A and B are shown apart, each in its own frame.
Chain A
Amino acid sequence: MSTGMNHTKGGLLIFTANSHPSSRELSKRIAERLGVELGKVQVYQEDNRETRVQIQESVRGKDVFIIQTMSKDVNTTIMELLIMVYACRTSCARSITGVLPYFPYSKQCKMRKRGSIVTKLLASMMCKAGLSHLITMDLHQKEIQGFFNIPVDNLRASPFLLQYIQEEIPDYRNAVIVAKSPASAKRAQSFAERLRLGIAVIHGEAQDAESDLVDGRHSPPTVKTTGAIHPSMEIPLLIPKEKPPITVVGDVGGRIAIIVDDIIDDVDSFLAAAETLKERGAYKIFIMATHGILSSDAPRLIEESPIHQVVVTNTIPHELQKLQCPKIQTVDISMILSEAIRRIHNGESMSYLFANIGVDD
């Protein structure tokens, strides 16, 4: 890939608004691939915990790309990004593109009882602060693109994960792609199609708290009140969901099981799936996920489980978790992000980056 930049269009500046050094790794790699230096900026927290951003070079008339990876302190990372975007806007940058490999709060994208749709709130705040374009990767729900009124590029990590499967798993042709719940069946199927493998779906494990409240607010109220309006006008009660026993639909006996998902955070459901697959005869279990959040004691639990390897991309820094659990492998996706930045800056087509992506991925 040639690194000659088209400088006649006002110049390119790449910043990262992360204050934590481990979060800056991805930005450094992207800048290296593009052959530019990271822009000079100081981001730190003052004594009273307020974030302070000081940009140390001119941004007037330039195309600014701000790369922000989510660290342990999500709210501070969001504030750092917003303050940086606003600072660039009031300093006359020509355009401001946010590169957020993992979009935060993407699991709170639905209305739940009396909660807030935080993803929509974040989208409004980013647009209001001055963002003119957003690049992200493997959004939890594609509909999140509609929350923004600026262009959003939802890149895919699946080509990298597929390449890892083909190169690093020796007898992948004897594998089965597994979806740990019916919700991720579409993703499993798109992987299986491209690898020409079969799929299996696990159904009936304990649903986690989020999907319980997916029906939104309970209206009408589920409590039967005495003195209904009219006997024949009684509204039927919602039948409470039952939890069927765990079943695996599909055959995994004597095969490698590859569980595919977009986010791996709380590993309880993955551990339950791994146990079930082991019982049904899978001899090796892999987990491929784009975003490896791996919070609290996920590394320890994975280390003690029958899972052979967990493969995640470097959208979220996880060095600490890798030290605790050597089963975690990283796939580098800085190439696709730097290619996206280059194409957007030069005004070229991005369709090459979506070449082999299926409808369901």
Chain B
Amino acid sequence: MPNIKIFSGSSHRELSHKIADRLGMELGKVVTKKFSNQETCVEIGESVRGEDVYIVQSGCGEINDNLMELLIMINACKIASASRVTAVIPCFPYARQDKKDKVGSRAPISAKLVANMLSVSGADHIITMDLHASQIQGFFDIPVDNLYAEPAVLKWIKENIPEWKNCTIVSPDAGGAKRVTSIADRLNVDFALIHKERKKANEVDRMVLVGDVTDRVAILVDDMADTCVSPREPWLISAGATKVYAILTHGIFSGPAISRINNACFEAVVVTNTIPQEEKMKTCPKIQVIDISMILAEAIRRTHNGESVSYLFSHVPL
């Protein structure tokens, strides 16, 4: 494909390599390093004049450093006369600070700040996956493609869970009900959700299951797993589930999450590779990874050629 260049930030190089392989091209040469005073330095190693540039950087690991690196790279390409700069951000940083909650009306809406920063640095287009709230698309004035990992998740369920026809999709809280019902409808199975009844603030509360999991495989579905604080699966097992799977799009797994998963009785914890999982898989054998590089690669190809991207919302490219 002519006139296209893909650059990778330092947050998730394996995903960028996979995307470039799928598109049949090499990653662009870029040098990212830090000076001794910890300032980030980016130098693009080839000409981008008049090219359609895609920069792949995920919001994971050292988030502030990776975010600065992404902004500096976008700015460097823009002032080097690239014709269009698209930021491909599989896991959008600060997505959970997207509203003022009642705890402090002085809370910053950091997701809006990040949107401003991306626009100011010169991005013309954003491609991301499973935003925590799809309203974040509205924080931008530039086009945002919010891709879904759902088709890949459905494919994984059909291929790897033998009893999928008789399972129940469970949402860990009331907020994820929409996501779960959409998956349950496509698989033609039942769904359930877990509802926390909070008696007092900071008191661990009763969990009420709305729906039925007796003698079925329960599949917990959520968009991200960070500290994995409140365990739900022992509770699902005691409610009658035979096996419990957890499927999440973004596996952040910070702090003591890995040890919590190892001590829990999940059959498997399945995440996509929006965030690098190599290290975590070594310490936790229950983690399995769904590869979504083909969805991102196909989105890049279609955006570059000016074709429709809506095919990707319901199909997984081969």
Contacts and interface: CB of A to CB of B under 8 A. Distances in A.
Interface string B32-69: 00011111111111011000000000001111110110
Contacts of A181: none
A49 interface: yes
Contacts of B252: 48
A342 interface: no
Contacts of A116: 42, 72-73, 75-76, 79
- Size class of the contact patch on chain B: 35 or more
Choose among B72, B105, B227, B252 the residue with the greatest number of A CB atoms under 10 Å from its CB: B72
A87 B226 CA distance: 24
A176 to B, nearest CB: 29
Contact of A121 (B64, B112, B120, B227): B120
- Size class of the contact patch on chain A: 35 or more
A83 B42 CA distance: 24
Contact of B108 (A73, A83, A112, A115): A83
Choose among A56, A72, A112, A116 the residue with the greatest number of B CB atoms under 10 Å from its CB: A116
B146 interface: no
Given A51-B64, A78-B64, A87 B38 contact: no
A48 B43 contact: no
Contacts of A112: 43
A37 interface: no
A107 B37 CA distance: 11
Nearest to B255: A47
Interface stretch (B93-101, B212-220, B263-271): B93-101
Nearest to B119: A128
Interface string A75-107: 110110011101100110000000000001101
8 contacts: A49-B64, A52-B97, A87-B106, A116-B72, A117-B75, A125-B71, A129-B113, A295-B36
Given A79-B68, A118-B72, 13 more contacts: A49-B63, A50-B96, A74-B40, A76-B64, A82-B117, A87-B106, A87-B108, A90-B108, A91-B106, A104-B39, A116-B42, A116-B75, A118-B40
Interface of A: 46-56, 58-59, 72-76, 78-79, 82-84, 86-87, 90-91, 104-105, 107-108, 111-118, 120-121, 124-125, 128-129, 265-266, 293, 295-296
